[in-house]
Amino acid sequence: MRPFLKWPGNKYRIVNYIKAKLPNGNRLIEPFVGSGSVFLNTNYNEYLLADNNEDLINLYITLQKEGENFISFCRSFFIPDNNTKEKYYYYRRLFNITKDPRLKSALLIYLNRHGYNGLVRYNKNGVYNVPFGKYKRPYFPEAEMHYFWYKSQKAIFIRGDFKDIMAKTCRGDVIYCDPPYVPLSNTSNFTNYSTGGFTLKHQHELTKLALKLSNQDIPVLISNHDTKLTRLIYKNADITRIKVQRYISCNGAKRTKVNEILAFFKGKGSGF
């Protein structure tokens, strides 16, 4: 099932590669859940799903609690009168100032489906700043939201730092990490899906945690770009390389395949 949100780095197109590497376990933990492609297309008994984007986690919790009532509320924004530049920027301003978490959650879906090219972007002050998308008929993801609601009954959603989330693990857990990627070049550094940055230091910290947990028989799978840096920092992992089609560019000619890496930290003596 596809996620109901468009999201940078969405793993739907490679979820079968990821599933092939994930071992069995009782609970799947995702410290960087994003749009939830892996969660939606796996079948663990329990899920601990986290992200540093507060708006995203509040949306998931609201949908989990309210189900059909919230879906109907979100549907009310998807009318022709709201598909204009003026209404889009009105709702974008409202999203950035409202203190109502339910309204903000619904507006995130509206902005996500009416905004430019599937971007999710905040400036350094935490202001959502994606421009209007000019779609003829924005799609309301009703079926996808219903499925997420159904699956979410097995999940706990938390806003938090990956280090805090990974500290909650125990034997029987499986961890999948989809952090903001290492740039392919010095100018390719689009990582601000939420406010704050994910630095090279964070990449190394994540790798150290993955190695530590795998040696405690808690397997960890990490996605990233296939670069000299990632090959170096993941040198203790079992590596799978894949090519992935990218669609985030506004220039169709540049939407080419890039090399990605799946680094599996299994650990010596692991029971998985």
What domains can be seen in the chain, in order of their start residue?
A: 12-52+154-265 (3.40.50.150), 68-143 (1.10.1020.10)
- What span, in angstroms and rounded, lies between the C-alpha atoms of 67 and 145? 8
Digit-coded pLDDT (tens) for 38-71: 999 999 999 999 999 999 999 999 999 999 999 9
Task: Please classify residue 237 by burial: count the beta carbons closer than 10 Å to its beta carbon, then call 0-12 exposed, 13-18 middle and 19+ buried.
Answer: buried
For 122-171, how does the pLDDT look when each residue is reduced to its tens digit (9 = 90+)?
999 999 999 999 999 999 999 999 999 999 999 999 999 999 999 999 99
For 93, the token pair is 């301003």
Do 76 and 68 touch, CB atoms closer than 8 A? no
Is the whole-model pTM more than 0.85? yes
Rounded to whole angstroms, how far apart are CA atoms 16 and 13?
8
Burial grade of 180 (CB within 10 A; 0-12, 13-18, 19 or more)? buried
In sequence order, what E strands does 71-182 have?
A: 155-159, 173-177
Measured distance CA(103)–CA(131) in Å, rounded? 20
Q: What is the pLDDT of residues 92-132, one digit of tens each?
A: 999 999 999 999 999 999 999 999 988 899 999 999 999 99
Question: Strands, E, within 108-256: which ranges?
Answer: 155-159, 173-177, 220-225, 238-245
For residue 191, what pLDDT band results from cuts at 50, 70 and 90? very low
